[in-house]
Amino acid sequence: MIVAQRKPFAEIKDMLQGYNKVLNVGCGTCVSVCLAGGEKEVAVLNTELEMARRLADDPIDIQGHTIERQCDREYLAELDSIIEEGGFDALLSMACGVGIQFLAERYPHIPTFPAVDTSGLAVNQAVGWYEERCRSCSQCVLGSTGGICPITMCAKGLLNGPCGGTNKGSCEISSDQPCAWFRIYERLSGQDRLDAIKKINTARGWKNQTPRNLIQPGYMKPEKMAK
Amino acid sequence: MNTETHVASGSNLEKVLRSGQFAFTGELGPPRGTNADEVREKAKFLKGNVDAVNITDNQTAVVRMSSWAASLIAIQEGLEPNYQMVCRDRNRLAMQSDILGGYALGIRNMLCLSGDHQQFGDHPDAMGVFDIDSIQLIAMVRQMRDEGLFLSGTEIHQPPKMFIGAASNPFADPFEWRVHRLAKKIEAGANFIQTQCIYNMEKFRKFIHLANEEGLTEKVFILAGVTPMKSVGMARYMKSKVPGMDVPDEIIDRLKGVEKEKVAQEGINIACEQIEEFKEMKGVHGVHLMAIEWEHMVPQIAEQAKVLPRPVFS
Protein backbone atom coordinates (compact mmCIF):
# COMPACT_ATOMS: atom_id res chain seq x y z
CA MET A 1 0.00 0.00 0.00
CA ILE A 2 0.91 3.66 -0.17
CA VAL A 3 2.17 4.87 3.19
CA ALA A 4 2.33 8.36 4.60
CA GLN A 5 3.08 10.12 7.83
CA ARG A 6 1.33 13.13 9.28
CA LYS A 7 3.29 16.33 8.87
CA PRO A 8 4.58 18.05 12.01
CA PHE A 9 1.70 19.92 13.61
CA ALA A 10 3.46 23.30 13.44
CA GLU A 11 3.86 22.96 9.68
CA ILE A 12 0.15 22.21 9.21
CA LYS A 13 -0.81 25.05 11.50
CA ASP A 14 1.42 27.47 9.58
CA MET A 15 -0.06 26.43 6.23
CA LEU A 16 -3.55 27.17 7.48
CA GLN A 17 -2.65 30.59 8.89
CA GLY A 18 -5.17 33.09 7.57
CA TYR A 19 -7.78 30.49 6.64
CA ASN A 20 -10.75 30.36 8.95
CA LYS A 21 -13.14 27.85 7.42
CA VAL A 22 -11.48 24.62 6.39
CA LEU A 23 -12.60 21.16 5.33
CA ASN A 24 -10.19 18.37 6.26
CA VAL A 25 -10.69 15.48 3.84
CA GLY A 26 -9.54 12.05 4.96
CA CYS A 27 -9.02 9.00 2.79
CA GLY A 28 -10.38 5.61 3.74
CA THR A 29 -7.92 3.44 1.86
CA CYS A 30 -4.09 3.23 2.16
CA VAL A 31 -3.47 6.15 4.52
CA SER A 32 -6.27 4.92 6.71
CA VAL A 33 -4.69 1.46 7.00
CA CYS A 34 -1.28 2.96 7.81
CA LEU A 35 -2.81 5.13 10.54
CA ALA A 36 -1.98 8.47 8.91
CA GLY A 37 -5.05 9.95 7.27
CA GLY A 38 -8.27 8.06 7.92
CA GLU A 39 -11.40 9.13 9.76
CA LYS A 40 -9.77 8.85 13.17
CA GLU A 41 -6.71 10.88 12.20
CA VAL A 42 -8.94 13.58 10.66
CA ALA A 43 -10.81 13.91 13.95
CA VAL A 44 -7.62 14.07 16.01
CA LEU A 45 -5.98 16.67 13.79
CA ASN A 46 -9.10 18.81 13.71
CA THR A 47 -9.29 18.81 17.49
CA GLU A 48 -5.64 19.81 17.76
CA LEU A 49 -6.08 22.62 15.24
CA GLU A 50 -9.21 23.93 16.94
CA MET A 51 -7.46 24.00 20.31
CA ALA A 52 -4.32 25.65 18.98
CA ARG A 53 -6.21 28.33 17.11
CA ARG A 54 -8.48 29.00 20.08
CA LEU A 55 -5.44 29.41 22.31
CA ALA A 56 -3.98 31.81 19.75
CA ASP A 57 -7.20 33.79 19.85
CA ASP A 58 -7.73 33.05 16.18
CA PRO A 59 -10.49 30.44 16.08
CA ILE A 60 -10.93 28.18 13.07
CA ASP A 61 -14.06 26.45 11.84
CA ILE A 62 -12.69 23.11 10.71
CA GLN A 63 -14.86 20.25 9.56
CA GLY A 64 -13.91 16.72 8.60
CA HIS A 65 -15.08 14.29 5.99
CA THR A 66 -13.45 11.02 5.02
CA ILE A 67 -14.19 9.43 1.67
CA GLU A 68 -13.37 5.94 0.48
CA ARG A 69 -10.60 7.02 -1.91
CA GLN A 70 -9.37 10.45 -2.98
CA CYS A 71 -7.70 9.00 -6.07
CA ASP A 72 -11.04 8.04 -7.57
CA ARG A 73 -13.61 10.47 -9.05
CA GLU A 74 -16.45 8.18 -8.09
CA TYR A 75 -15.76 8.83 -4.40
CA LEU A 76 -14.66 12.45 -4.75
CA ALA A 77 -18.08 13.27 -6.19
CA GLU A 78 -19.71 12.94 -2.79
CA LEU A 79 -17.77 16.03 -1.70
CA ASP A 80 -19.33 18.26 -4.37
CA SER A 81 -22.41 19.24 -2.39
CA ILE A 82 -20.52 19.52 0.91
CA ILE A 83 -17.98 21.89 -0.61
CA GLU A 84 -20.53 23.84 -2.58
CA GLU A 85 -22.65 24.49 0.49
CA GLY A 86 -19.82 24.79 3.01
CA GLY A 87 -18.18 27.99 1.81
CA PHE A 88 -14.69 26.73 2.77
CA ASP A 89 -11.75 29.01 2.19
CA ALA A 90 -9.27 26.11 2.20
CA LEU A 91 -9.13 22.34 1.97
CA LEU A 92 -6.78 20.12 3.93
CA SER A 93 -6.12 16.65 2.58
CA MET A 94 -4.92 13.71 4.60
CA ALA A 95 -4.67 11.51 1.51
CA CYS A 96 -1.42 10.50 -0.13
CA GLY A 97 0.30 12.72 -2.69
CA VAL A 98 -1.87 11.21 -5.39
CA GLY A 99 -5.21 11.67 -3.66
CA ILE A 100 -4.63 15.29 -2.70
CA GLN A 101 -3.86 16.22 -6.29
CA PHE A 102 -7.14 14.78 -7.52
CA LEU A 103 -8.91 16.70 -4.77
CA ALA A 104 -7.13 19.96 -5.67
CA GLU A 105 -7.91 19.41 -9.34
CA ARG A 106 -11.60 18.90 -8.69
CA TYR A 107 -11.89 22.15 -6.72
CA PRO A 108 -9.31 24.37 -8.41
CA HIS A 109 -10.70 27.61 -6.96
CA ILE A 110 -10.03 26.52 -3.34
CA PRO A 111 -6.47 26.43 -1.95
CA THR A 112 -5.67 22.84 -0.93
CA PHE A 113 -2.96 21.86 1.56
CA PRO A 114 -1.33 18.51 2.44
CA ALA A 115 -1.49 17.26 6.01
CA VAL A 116 0.71 14.22 5.36
CA ASP A 117 4.07 13.41 3.76
CA THR A 118 3.81 10.46 1.43
CA SER A 119 6.77 8.14 1.73
CA GLY A 120 6.19 5.27 -0.63
CA LEU A 121 4.95 1.78 -1.29
CA ALA A 122 5.39 -0.33 1.78
CA VAL A 123 4.52 -3.53 3.55
CA ASN A 124 2.95 -3.74 6.97
CA GLN A 125 5.71 -5.23 9.14
CA ALA A 126 3.76 -4.81 12.38
CA VAL A 127 1.08 -2.45 13.68
CA GLY A 128 2.37 1.04 12.96
CA TRP A 129 5.58 -0.19 11.24
CA TYR A 130 5.80 0.04 7.49
CA GLU A 131 8.77 -0.83 5.34
CA GLU A 132 9.25 0.53 1.85
CA ARG A 133 9.59 -2.19 -0.74
CA CYS A 134 8.92 -0.68 -4.17
CA ARG A 135 9.93 2.51 -5.98
CA SER A 136 7.53 1.81 -8.87
CA CYS A 137 10.35 1.99 -11.41
CA SER A 138 8.24 0.52 -14.21
CA GLN A 139 10.67 -2.33 -14.96
CA CYS A 140 10.52 -5.02 -12.33
CA VAL A 141 13.66 -7.11 -11.80
CA LEU A 142 12.35 -9.19 -8.90
CA GLY A 143 12.36 -12.35 -11.03
CA SER A 144 16.15 -12.39 -11.08
CA THR A 145 16.74 -11.01 -7.60
CA GLY A 146 14.89 -13.56 -5.52
CA GLY A 147 11.90 -11.30 -4.92
CA ILE A 148 14.00 -8.60 -3.18
CA CYS A 149 14.07 -5.18 -4.83
CA PRO A 150 17.60 -3.76 -5.23
CA ILE A 151 16.27 -0.43 -6.51
CA THR A 152 14.42 0.13 -3.24
CA MET A 153 16.31 -1.91 -0.67
CA CYS A 154 19.88 -1.14 -1.77
CA ALA A 155 20.84 2.36 -0.59
CA LYS A 156 22.62 2.91 -3.91
CA GLY A 157 20.01 1.16 -6.03
CA LEU A 158 22.72 -1.02 -7.52
CA LEU A 159 21.76 -3.50 -10.19
CA ASN A 160 25.00 -5.46 -9.78
CA GLY A 161 25.63 -5.75 -6.07
CA PRO A 162 26.64 -6.15 -3.36
CA CYS A 163 29.16 -3.32 -3.27
CA GLY A 164 32.30 -3.40 -1.14
CA GLY A 165 30.50 -1.62 1.68
CA THR A 166 28.33 -4.51 2.73
CA ASN A 167 29.05 -5.06 6.38
CA LYS A 168 28.30 -8.46 7.92
CA GLY A 169 24.98 -8.55 6.11
CA SER A 170 24.16 -4.90 6.77
CA CYS A 171 24.34 -1.89 4.51
CA GLU A 172 27.25 0.51 4.91
CA ILE A 173 24.82 3.30 5.84
CA SER A 174 23.59 1.58 9.01
CA SER A 175 23.79 -1.69 10.85
CA ASP A 176 19.98 -1.53 11.11
CA GLN A 177 19.61 -1.59 7.34
CA PRO A 178 20.04 -5.04 5.84
CA CYS A 179 22.17 -5.22 2.70
CA ALA A 180 19.70 -5.95 -0.10
CA TRP A 181 22.28 -7.73 -2.20
CA PHE A 182 23.45 -9.87 0.70
CA ARG A 183 19.84 -11.01 1.08
CA ILE A 184 19.46 -11.51 -2.64
CA TYR A 185 22.57 -13.68 -2.61
CA GLU A 186 21.33 -15.70 0.36
CA ARG A 187 17.90 -16.28 -1.11
CA LEU A 188 19.10 -17.22 -4.58
CA SER A 189 21.79 -19.42 -3.08
CA GLY A 190 19.09 -21.24 -1.12
CA GLN A 191 17.14 -21.71 -4.34
CA ASP A 192 20.28 -22.83 -6.17
CA ARG A 193 19.72 -19.95 -8.61
CA LEU A 194 22.90 -17.85 -8.29
CA ASP A 195 23.27 -17.92 -12.06
CA ALA A 196 20.49 -15.36 -12.15
CA ILE A 197 22.85 -12.69 -10.79
CA LYS A 198 26.11 -13.90 -12.31
CA LYS A 199 25.28 -12.22 -15.58
CA ILE A 200 25.70 -8.47 -15.86
CA ASN A 201 22.66 -6.29 -15.51
CA THR A 202 23.33 -3.66 -18.15
CA ALA A 203 22.66 0.06 -17.68
CA ARG A 204 18.94 0.56 -17.67
CA GLY A 205 16.87 3.15 -19.41
CA TRP A 206 15.08 4.81 -16.51
CA LYS A 207 11.36 4.88 -17.15
CA ASN A 208 10.40 7.06 -14.24
CA GLN A 209 11.94 10.33 -15.39
CA THR A 210 8.79 11.73 -16.94
CA PRO A 211 5.18 11.47 -15.72
CA ARG A 212 3.89 8.03 -16.56
CA ASN A 213 0.52 7.27 -18.07
CA LEU A 214 -0.78 3.78 -17.90
CA ILE A 215 -3.55 2.51 -20.12
CA GLN A 216 -4.33 -1.16 -19.83
CA PRO A 217 -4.63 -3.22 -23.02
CA GLY A 218 -8.10 -2.99 -24.45
CA TYR A 219 -8.72 0.43 -22.89
CA MET A 220 -8.18 3.95 -24.14
CA LYS A 221 -8.47 7.52 -22.93
CA PRO A 222 -12.09 8.65 -23.04
CA GLU A 223 -12.43 10.91 -26.07
CA LYS A 224 -13.44 13.98 -24.13
CA MET A 225 -10.28 13.75 -22.01
CA ALA A 226 -7.85 13.03 -24.82
CA LYS A 227 -6.05 16.10 -26.15
CA MET B 1 49.11 -12.95 -18.30
CA ASN B 2 47.59 -12.32 -21.64
CA THR B 3 49.70 -9.63 -23.23
CA GLU B 4 48.19 -10.02 -26.70
CA THR B 5 45.01 -8.09 -26.00
CA HIS B 6 46.79 -4.81 -26.39
CA VAL B 7 44.74 -1.89 -25.28
CA ALA B 8 47.37 0.64 -26.17
CA SER B 9 46.05 3.30 -23.93
CA GLY B 10 49.51 4.77 -23.69
CA SER B 11 49.30 4.30 -19.94
CA ASN B 12 52.53 3.81 -18.07
CA LEU B 13 50.77 1.52 -15.61
CA GLU B 14 49.59 -0.63 -18.50
CA LYS B 15 53.14 -0.85 -19.85
CA VAL B 16 54.52 -1.91 -16.47
CA LEU B 17 51.88 -4.60 -16.07
CA ARG B 18 52.04 -5.92 -19.62
CA SER B 19 55.82 -6.15 -19.43
CA GLY B 20 55.32 -8.56 -16.54
CA GLN B 21 56.85 -6.31 -13.89
CA PHE B 22 55.48 -5.97 -10.39
CA ALA B 23 53.45 -2.74 -10.36
CA PHE B 24 53.43 -0.23 -7.54
CA THR B 25 50.72 2.44 -7.42
CA GLY B 26 50.02 5.17 -4.90
CA GLU B 27 47.19 7.39 -3.85
CA LEU B 28 46.64 11.13 -3.56
CA GLY B 29 43.62 12.79 -2.02
CA PRO B 30 42.77 16.20 -3.55
CA PRO B 31 42.49 19.18 -1.19
CA ARG B 32 39.34 20.66 0.29
CA GLY B 33 40.01 23.94 -1.42
CA THR B 34 41.60 25.51 -4.45
CA ASN B 35 45.28 25.36 -3.58
CA ALA B 36 46.98 23.46 -6.38
CA ASP B 37 50.21 23.52 -4.37
CA GLU B 38 48.71 21.05 -1.91
CA VAL B 39 48.46 18.56 -4.78
CA ARG B 40 51.98 19.43 -5.98
CA GLU B 41 53.38 18.99 -2.49
CA LYS B 42 51.93 15.48 -2.18
CA ALA B 43 52.93 14.64 -5.75
CA LYS B 44 56.56 15.40 -4.92
CA PHE B 45 56.73 12.38 -2.61
CA LEU B 46 55.11 10.05 -5.12
CA LYS B 47 57.01 10.99 -8.26
CA GLY B 48 59.45 8.31 -9.28
CA ASN B 49 58.27 6.02 -6.50
CA VAL B 50 55.03 4.78 -8.07
CA ASP B 51 53.88 3.80 -11.58
CA ALA B 52 50.62 5.70 -11.28
CA VAL B 53 48.75 7.52 -8.56
CA ASN B 54 45.07 7.17 -7.79
CA ILE B 55 43.37 10.54 -7.56
CA THR B 56 40.36 10.00 -5.34
CA ASP B 57 36.91 11.29 -6.29
CA ASN B 58 35.21 12.98 -3.33
CA GLN B 59 36.28 10.07 -1.16
CA THR B 60 34.06 9.22 1.79
CA ALA B 61 31.51 11.49 0.12
CA VAL B 62 33.29 14.65 1.25
CA VAL B 63 33.61 17.48 -1.30
CA ARG B 64 37.13 17.99 -2.58
CA MET B 65 38.82 19.39 -5.65
CA SER B 66 37.54 17.37 -8.59
CA SER B 67 39.41 14.22 -9.39
CA TRP B 68 40.08 15.18 -13.03
CA ALA B 69 41.41 18.62 -12.08
CA ALA B 70 43.77 17.15 -9.49
CA SER B 71 44.72 14.49 -12.08
CA LEU B 72 45.80 17.25 -14.46
CA ILE B 73 47.93 18.88 -11.77
CA ALA B 74 49.52 15.46 -11.17
CA ILE B 75 50.32 15.21 -14.88
CA GLN B 76 51.97 18.65 -14.75
CA GLU B 77 54.11 17.31 -11.90
CA GLY B 78 55.23 14.34 -13.99
CA LEU B 79 52.99 11.81 -12.28
CA GLU B 80 50.64 9.48 -14.10
CA PRO B 81 47.14 9.71 -12.60
CA ASN B 82 44.70 6.90 -12.15
CA TYR B 83 41.53 8.96 -12.37
CA GLN B 84 38.92 7.66 -9.94
CA MET B 85 35.28 8.10 -10.83
CA VAL B 86 32.35 7.24 -8.59
CA CYS B 87 28.74 6.65 -9.63
CA ARG B 88 27.34 8.62 -6.71
CA ASP B 89 27.79 12.15 -8.02
CA ARG B 90 27.07 12.17 -11.75
CA ASN B 91 24.81 10.67 -14.34
CA ARG B 92 25.87 8.99 -17.55
CA LEU B 93 26.03 12.27 -19.48
CA ALA B 94 28.36 13.95 -17.00
CA MET B 95 30.49 10.82 -16.67
CA GLN B 96 31.02 10.43 -20.39
CA SER B 97 31.82 14.09 -20.91
CA ASP B 98 34.34 14.03 -18.04
CA ILE B 99 35.94 10.93 -19.57
CA LEU B 100 36.27 12.70 -22.93
CA GLY B 101 37.71 15.80 -21.29
CA GLY B 102 40.06 13.86 -19.05
CA TYR B 103 41.38 11.80 -21.92
CA ALA B 104 41.79 14.86 -24.15
CA LEU B 105 44.03 16.39 -21.48
CA GLY B 106 46.19 13.31 -20.91
CA ILE B 107 44.42 10.99 -18.46
CA ARG B 108 44.98 7.36 -19.47
CA ASN B 109 43.85 5.27 -16.47
CA MET B 110 40.50 5.18 -14.76
CA LEU B 111 39.27 3.44 -11.66
CA CYS B 112 35.52 2.82 -11.79
CA LEU B 113 33.78 2.78 -8.41
CA SER B 114 30.27 2.85 -6.95
CA GLY B 115 31.35 5.37 -4.31
CA ASP B 116 30.71 5.60 -0.60
CA HIS B 117 27.11 6.47 0.20
CA GLN B 118 26.49 10.22 0.52
CA GLN B 119 25.29 9.69 4.10
CA PHE B 120 28.93 9.24 5.17
CA GLY B 121 30.07 12.60 3.98
CA ASP B 122 29.69 16.32 4.50
CA HIS B 123 26.49 16.59 2.45
CA PRO B 124 24.46 13.69 3.83
CA ASP B 125 21.20 15.03 2.37
CA ALA B 126 22.52 15.15 -1.20
CA MET B 127 20.76 13.13 -3.86
CA GLY B 128 22.78 10.04 -4.69
CA VAL B 129 22.78 9.74 -8.46
CA PHE B 130 23.76 6.10 -9.10
CA ASP B 131 22.35 6.36 -12.62
CA ILE B 132 24.65 3.46 -13.45
CA ASP B 133 26.62 1.24 -11.08
CA SER B 134 30.34 0.46 -11.05
CA ILE B 135 30.03 -2.60 -13.28
CA GLN B 136 27.94 -0.66 -15.77
CA LEU B 137 30.51 2.16 -15.64
CA ILE B 138 33.30 -0.30 -16.48
CA ALA B 139 31.23 -1.59 -19.39
CA MET B 140 30.56 1.96 -20.57
CA VAL B 141 34.24 2.98 -20.58
CA ARG B 142 35.09 -0.26 -22.39
CA GLN B 143 32.40 0.38 -25.00
CA MET B 144 33.64 3.94 -25.49
CA ARG B 145 37.17 2.61 -25.99
CA ASP B 146 36.67 -0.62 -27.95
CA GLU B 147 33.58 0.18 -29.96
CA GLY B 148 33.96 3.93 -30.14
CA LEU B 149 30.38 4.36 -29.03
CA PHE B 150 28.68 6.33 -26.31
CA LEU B 151 26.39 4.40 -24.00
CA SER B 152 23.53 5.54 -26.22
CA GLY B 153 25.16 3.76 -29.18
CA THR B 154 26.10 6.91 -31.06
CA GLU B 155 29.57 7.28 -32.46
CA ILE B 156 32.42 9.06 -30.70
CA HIS B 157 34.79 11.12 -32.80
CA GLN B 158 38.23 9.96 -31.58
CA PRO B 159 37.21 7.67 -28.72
CA PRO B 160 39.03 7.78 -25.36
CA LYS B 161 41.37 4.79 -24.87
CA MET B 162 41.41 4.29 -21.16
CA PHE B 163 43.21 1.55 -19.24
CA ILE B 164 40.28 0.43 -17.11
CA GLY B 165 40.51 -0.32 -13.43
CA ALA B 166 38.03 -1.61 -10.90
CA ALA B 167 38.00 -2.26 -7.19
CA SER B 168 37.53 -5.52 -5.36
CA ASN B 169 36.89 -6.05 -1.69
CA PRO B 170 37.77 -9.66 -0.85
CA PHE B 171 36.60 -9.14 2.72
CA ALA B 172 33.03 -7.99 2.25
CA ASP B 173 30.21 -10.47 2.68
CA PRO B 174 29.29 -12.85 1.31
CA PHE B 175 32.86 -14.10 0.83
CA GLU B 176 31.73 -16.79 -1.64
CA TRP B 177 30.31 -14.10 -3.91
CA ARG B 178 33.48 -11.99 -4.13
CA VAL B 179 35.11 -14.05 -6.84
CA HIS B 180 31.89 -14.03 -8.89
CA ARG B 181 31.75 -10.26 -8.53
CA LEU B 182 35.36 -10.05 -9.68
CA ALA B 183 34.41 -12.20 -12.68
CA LYS B 184 31.57 -9.81 -13.51
CA LYS B 185 33.94 -6.84 -13.43
CA ILE B 186 36.35 -8.63 -15.74
CA GLU B 187 33.52 -9.55 -18.09
CA ALA B 188 32.41 -5.91 -18.08
CA GLY B 189 35.88 -4.88 -19.23
CA ALA B 190 38.18 -4.29 -16.26
CA ASN B 191 41.87 -4.53 -17.18
CA PHE B 192 43.22 -4.16 -13.67
CA ILE B 193 41.93 -4.49 -10.13
CA GLN B 194 42.95 -2.65 -7.01
CA THR B 195 41.78 -4.35 -3.86
CA GLN B 196 40.53 -3.00 -0.57
CA CYS B 197 43.23 -2.64 2.11
CA ILE B 198 44.38 -6.10 3.08
CA TYR B 199 45.13 -7.00 6.69
CA ASN B 200 43.68 -10.49 6.89
CA MET B 201 46.29 -12.28 4.78
CA GLU B 202 44.80 -15.70 5.31
CA LYS B 203 41.49 -14.64 3.85
CA PHE B 204 43.21 -12.87 0.98
CA ARG B 205 45.26 -15.98 0.13
CA LYS B 206 42.00 -17.90 -0.03
CA PHE B 207 40.46 -15.26 -2.28
CA ILE B 208 43.42 -15.26 -4.68
CA HIS B 209 43.44 -19.04 -4.67
CA LEU B 210 39.80 -19.06 -5.76
CA ALA B 211 40.49 -16.38 -8.38
CA ASN B 212 43.42 -18.44 -9.70
CA GLU B 213 41.26 -21.55 -9.85
CA GLU B 214 38.60 -19.70 -11.82
CA GLY B 215 41.29 -18.49 -14.23
CA LEU B 216 40.49 -14.87 -13.39
CA THR B 217 44.06 -13.85 -12.64
CA GLU B 218 44.93 -14.76 -16.23
CA LYS B 219 42.43 -12.20 -17.47
CA VAL B 220 43.08 -9.25 -15.22
CA PHE B 221 45.99 -7.66 -13.37
CA ILE B 222 45.49 -7.66 -9.62
CA LEU B 223 47.09 -5.03 -7.40
CA ALA B 224 46.88 -5.88 -3.73
CA GLY B 225 45.79 -2.98 -1.54
CA VAL B 226 48.13 -2.03 1.31
CA THR B 227 47.66 0.70 3.91
CA PRO B 228 50.26 0.92 6.65
CA MET B 229 48.81 1.46 10.12
CA LYS B 230 50.02 4.69 11.70
CA SER B 231 48.79 3.96 15.20
CA VAL B 232 46.89 1.51 17.37
CA GLY B 233 43.94 3.92 17.29
CA MET B 234 43.85 3.82 13.51
CA ALA B 235 43.90 0.03 13.54
CA ARG B 236 41.04 -0.07 16.02
CA TYR B 237 39.08 2.47 13.99
CA MET B 238 39.59 0.50 10.77
CA LYS B 239 38.49 -2.67 12.49
CA SER B 240 35.31 -1.37 14.05
CA LYS B 241 34.19 1.65 12.03
CA VAL B 242 35.07 1.11 8.38
CA PRO B 243 32.53 -1.05 6.55
CA GLY B 244 33.95 -4.00 4.69
CA MET B 245 37.33 -3.83 6.49
CA ASP B 246 38.82 -6.90 8.10
CA VAL B 247 41.55 -6.19 10.66
CA PRO B 248 42.63 -9.27 12.64
CA ASP B 249 43.47 -8.84 16.32
CA GLU B 250 47.03 -10.01 15.70
CA ILE B 251 47.71 -6.77 13.75
CA ILE B 252 46.49 -4.68 16.67
CA ASP B 253 48.40 -6.83 19.16
CA ARG B 254 51.59 -6.46 17.16
CA LEU B 255 51.26 -2.66 17.08
CA LYS B 256 50.50 -2.63 20.81
CA GLY B 257 53.56 -4.77 21.46
CA VAL B 258 56.10 -2.07 20.52
CA GLU B 259 57.04 1.19 22.23
CA LYS B 260 54.73 4.08 21.40
CA GLU B 261 57.21 5.97 19.21
CA LYS B 262 57.89 2.82 17.19
CA VAL B 263 54.27 1.98 16.35
CA ALA B 264 54.28 3.78 12.98
CA GLN B 265 57.49 2.00 11.96
CA GLU B 266 55.95 -1.30 13.02
CA GLY B 267 52.96 -0.49 10.79
CA ILE B 268 55.36 0.07 7.90
CA ASN B 269 57.17 -3.17 8.74
CA ILE B 270 53.88 -5.09 8.56
CA ALA B 271 53.06 -3.45 5.21
CA CYS B 272 56.49 -4.29 3.79
CA GLU B 273 56.25 -7.91 4.92
CA GLN B 274 52.90 -8.08 3.13
CA ILE B 275 54.42 -6.58 -0.02
CA GLU B 276 57.21 -9.19 0.09
CA GLU B 277 54.60 -11.93 0.17
CA PHE B 278 52.56 -10.33 -2.63
CA LYS B 279 55.64 -10.24 -4.86
CA GLU B 280 55.73 -14.02 -4.68
CA MET B 281 51.99 -14.68 -4.68
CA LYS B 282 50.60 -16.30 -7.81
CA GLY B 283 47.87 -14.12 -9.28
CA VAL B 284 49.07 -10.86 -7.74
CA HIS B 285 50.65 -8.45 -10.20
CA GLY B 286 51.44 -5.50 -8.03
CA VAL B 287 50.62 -3.47 -4.96
CA HIS B 288 48.42 -0.44 -4.53
CA LEU B 289 49.76 1.58 -1.60
CA MET B 290 47.17 3.77 0.06
CA ALA B 291 49.22 5.87 2.45
CA ILE B 292 46.30 8.02 3.51
CA GLU B 293 47.48 11.54 4.39
CA TRP B 294 50.90 9.97 4.72
CA GLU B 295 52.18 10.66 1.22
CA HIS B 296 55.50 11.93 2.59
CA MET B 297 56.26 8.44 3.89
CA VAL B 298 55.92 6.83 0.45
CA PRO B 299 59.60 7.20 -0.52
CA GLN B 300 60.67 5.44 2.67
CA ILE B 301 58.04 2.69 2.31
CA ALA B 302 58.95 2.11 -1.34
CA GLU B 303 62.59 1.88 -0.36
CA GLN B 304 61.99 -0.54 2.48
CA ALA B 305 59.60 -2.61 0.32
CA LYS B 306 62.37 -2.89 -2.28
CA VAL B 307 60.19 -1.80 -5.18
CA LEU B 308 62.61 0.85 -6.42
CA PRO B 309 63.62 1.92 -8.96
CA ARG B 310 60.37 1.96 -10.89
CA PRO B 311 60.51 0.88 -14.55
CA VAL B 312 60.89 3.63 -17.14
CA PHE B 313 59.71 3.29 -20.74
CA SER B 314 61.03 5.43 -23.50
List, for residues A126-154, the tens digit of each pLDDT value: 999 999 999 999 999 999 999 999 999 99
Give the closest of A164, A194, A200 to B244, CB-based. Answer: A164
Report the C-alpha gap between B164 and B162 in whole angstroms: 6
Residues recorded for chain A: 227
pLDDT of residue B1 exceeding 60, the answer is: no
Closest CA to B110 of B168, B181, B166, B35: B166
Q: What average pLDDT does range A210-226 have in this prediction? A: 87
DSSP state letters, B245-310: ----HHHHHHHHTS-GGGHHHHHHHHHHHHHHHHHHSTT--EEEE--TT-GGGHHHHHHHTT--SP
What per-residue confidence (pLDDT) applies to B293?
87
Confidence label for A227 from pLDDT (cuts 50, 70 and 90) = low
Decide if pLDDT at A12 tops 90.
Answer: yes
Mean pLDDT check: name the lowest of A41-55, B3-17, B115-129, B254-268.
Answer: B3-17
- Average pLDDT of span A17-46: 98
Q: What domains, with CATH codes, occur in chain A?
A: 2-120 (3.40.50.2300), 135-198 (no CATH)
User: DSSP for chain A?
Assistant: -EEEEEPPHHHHHHHTTT--EEEEEEESSHHHHTTSSSHHHHHHHHHHHHHHHHHTT---EEEEEEES-TT-HHHHTTHHHHHHHHT-SEEEE-S-HHHHHHHHHHSTTS-EEESEEEEEEEEEEETTEEEEEE---SS--GGGTTT--HHHHSTT--SS---TT-BTTEETTEEEEE-HHHHHHHHHHHTT-THHHHS--PPP--S-SS------TT----TTT--
Whether residue B246 contacts residue B199, with contact meaning beta carbons closer than 8 Å, is answered with yes
Q: Which of A162, A201, A206 sits opposite B172 (nearest CB)?
A: A162
Nearest to A173 among B87, B119, B135 (CB): B119
Q: Other CB atoms closer than 10 Å to residue B199's CB: what's the count?
A: 25
Distance CA(B56)–CA(B38), nearest Å, equals 14
* 8 Å CB contact of A162 and B177: yes
Q: Which pLDDT value is given to residue B6?
A: 58
At B129, the amino acid letter reads V
Alpha carbon A103 to chain centroid, angstroms: 15
Condensed to tens digits (0 to 9), the pLDDT of residues B186-228 reads 999 999 999 999 999 999 999 999 999 999 999 999 999 999 9
- Select from B134, B136, B177 the Cβ nearest to the Cβ of A202: B136
CA-CA distance, A42 to A23, in Å (whole number)? Answer: 10
Tell whether the model's pLDDT for residue B2 goes beyond 90.
no
Q: Determine the distance in angstroms separating the CA of A150 from the nearest CA of chain B, rounded to an integer.
A: 12
For residue A113, the cross-strand partners are A92
Mean pLDDT of B167-173: 94
- Chain B residues with CB-CB distance to A198 below 8 A: 180, 183-184
Inform me whether the pLDDT recorded for B100 exceeds 70. Answer: yes
> What is residue B202's three-state secondary structure?
helix
Q: How far apart are CA B258 and CA B256, in angstroms?
A: 6
* Closest chain B C-alpha to A79 CA, distance in angstroms: 39
Alpha-carbon separation of residue A48 from A37, B58, B282 (angstroms):
14, 46, 72
pLDDT tens digits, B5-30: 555 789 999 999 999 999 999 999 99
Contact A166 B184 (CB under 8 A): no
B132 contacts A203? CB cut-off 8 A: yes
A168 to chain B: which residues are within 8 Å by CB?
173
Instruction: Look at residue B28 in the predicted model and tell me its pLDDT.
Output: 97
Contact A61, A21 (CB under 8 A): yes
Asked if pLDDT for residue B184 goes beyond 70, the answer is: yes
Which domains does chain B show, CATH number per domain?
A: 12-304 (3.20.20.220)
Q: How far is CA A146 from CA A141, A149, B139, in A?
A: 9, 8, 25
Distance between A184 CA and the closest CA of chain B, angstroms = 11
Select the residue from A154, A159, A160 to test the B interface by mutation, using most B Cβ atoms within 10 A. Answer: A160
Helix (H) or strand (E) holding B196: strand B192-197
Q: Is the pLDDT of residue B238 over 60?
A: yes
pLDDT value for B4: 46
Mean predicted confidence (pLDDT) in A88-94: 98
Main-chain phi, psi angles of B253, to 5 degrees: -60, -40
Looking at residue B60, what DSSP letter applies? G
The pLDDT tens digits for B34-86 are: 999 999 999 999 999 999 999 999 999 999 999 999 999 999 999 999 999 99
Q: Would you call the peptide bond into B174 cis, given omega within 30 degrees of 0 as the criterion?
A: yes
Backbone angles phi, psi at A88, to 5 degrees: -75, 140
Q: Cβ B117–A198 below 8 Å, yes or no?
A: no
The answer to whether B133 contacts A160, with C-beta atoms less than 8 Å apart, is yes
* The pLDDT of residue B242: 86
- Does residue B92 sit at the A interface (CB-CB below 8 Å)? yes
Q: What is the pLDDT of residue B7?
A: 58
- A172 and B120 within 8 Å at the Cβ level: the answer is yes
Nearest residue in chain B measured CA to CA from A199: B184
CA closest to B189 among chain A residues: A200
> What integer pLDDT is reported at residue A226 of this predicted model?
61
Nearest to B173 among A182, A198, A201 (CB): A182
| Nearest chain A Cα distance for residue B131, angstroms | 8
Instruction: Quote the CA–CA distance of B26 and B299 in Å, as a whole number.
Output: 11
Contact A173 B117 (CB under 8 A): yes
Decide if B236 contacts B252 (C-beta within 8 A).
yes
**How does residue B243 score in pLDDT terms, banded at 50, 70 and 90?**
confident
Instruction: Say what the pLDDT of residue B3 is.
Output: 45
Mutate to test the interface with A, among B87, B96, B117 (most CBs of A within 10 A): B117
